Structure 1
Amino acid sequence: MAVDYFADPPPGLDLNESRTASNNAVGILLLALSAIFVGLRLLTRLRLKRERLGLDDYLMFLGLALNAGNLACCIAGGFFGLGKHIWSLDAYQMRQITIITFAYVFIYAWSVCIIKFSILALYHRIFGLSWMGWFCVALTTGYLITNHAVLPLYTKPLNYYWNQWYGAEGVVQVDEAKFYLGIGIINLFGDICILTVPITNVLQLRLVRTQKIAISLIFMLGSFVCLASMYRIITIARLVKTTDVSWAKSDVFIWSSVEPSIGIISGCLPTLRPLMLQIMQSWFNFIPSGRSSSGKGSRSISLKPIETIGQKRMRKISEQDTLGGSQFTELNNDGDADEERRGHHSRTWRPDEDEMCRTTTTVHARNDSRTGTERSTPDARDGGINVTKMFEWDEAMRK
Structure 2
Amino acid sequence: MSVMTSLQVRDRLDDNRGGELKATTTVLLILATIFVALRFWARSYTAGRYGKDDWMMVVALVVVFALGAINHAEIAYGLGRHVDTLPMGDVITFFKCLLAHECIYITAVLFVKLSVLQMYLRIFGFASREFKIAAIIIASTNIAWWISIFAVCIFQCNPIRKAWLPWVEGTCINLKASFIGNAIPNILTDVVMLCMPLRQVWKMRLPLAQKLSVCFTFLLGGFVLFASIYRFTTLMQFDTRDTTWTLATACTWCVVEVACGVIGGCLPILRPLMLKVSHQFGNLTSGEEAQSGDKSQPPEVVTIGRAEDMALREERELQGHKKQGGNCKPHTAIITSTSLSKETGPSALGSKNEFLLSGGTRATVQNDMDITIRQTGLKKENESVA
* Pairwise TM-score range, normalised by the shorter structure: 0.7 to 0.9
Report deviation, 1:204.
1.2
Identity in percent: 28
1:107 aligned partner? 104
Report deviation, 1:93.
1.4
2:116 aligned partner? 119
List per-residue Cα deviations over 1:230-279 (Å, max 9, x = no partner). Answer: 0111111211x463211111111100000011111111111112211221
Q: What does residue range 83-94 of structure 1 map to in structure 2 within 5 Å?
A: 83-94=80-91
Report deviation, 1:90.
2.6
Of residues 21, 37, 40, the one that matches 1:39 is: 37
* Equivalent position amino acid for 1:191 in 2: D
Of residues 154, 157, 166, the one that matches 1:155 is: 157
Q: Which fold has the larger relative contact order, with Cα–Cα distance below 8 Å and residues 6 or more apart in sequence?
A: 2
1:323 aligned partner? none
Q: What does residue range 1-399 of structure 1 map to in structure 2 within 5 Å?
A: 11=9, 14-46=12-44, 48-49=45-46, 51-128=48-125, 129-164=131-166, 167-172=167-172, 174-239=173-238, 241=239, 243-285=241-283, 294=298, 306=314, 308-309=316-317, 314-315=320-321, 335-336=327-328, 386-387=374-375
TM-score normalised by L of structure 1 = 0.72
Q: Contact 1:225 / 1:263 at 8 angstroms: preserved in 2?
A: yes
List per-residue Cα deviations over 1:63-103 (Å, max 9, x = no partner). Answer: 11111111111110111111101111132211111000111
Compare the two structures and name the one with the higher helix fraction. 2
CA distance in 2, matches of 1:183, 1:210: 39
CA distance in 2, matches of 1:388, 1:57: 31
* 2:160 aligned counterpart, secondary structure: coil
Report deviation, 1:168.
2.2
* 2:13 aligned counterpart, secondary structure: coil
In structure 2, relative to structure 1, the CA distance for the partners of 1:206 and 1:89 (3 Å cut) is same
Question: Where do 5+ consecutive residues of structure 1 fail to align?
Answer: 1-7, 317-330, 338-345, 354-373, 379-383, 390-399
List per-residue Cα deviations over 1:281-319 (Å, max 9, x = no partner). Answer: 2233279xxxx97569x999x9897484475xx449xxx
* Equivalent position amino acid for 2:190 in 1: D
TM-score normalised by L of structure 2 = 0.74
CA distance in 2, matches of 1:72, 1:375: 57
In structure 2, relative to structure 1, the CA distance for the partners of 1:386 and 1:335 (3 Å cut) is farther
In structure 2, relative to structure 1, the CA distance for the partners of 1:192 and 1:347 (3 Å cut) is closer
CA distance in 2, matches of 1:266, 1:218: 9
* 1:221 aligned counterpart, secondary structure: helix
Report deviation, 1:28.
0.6
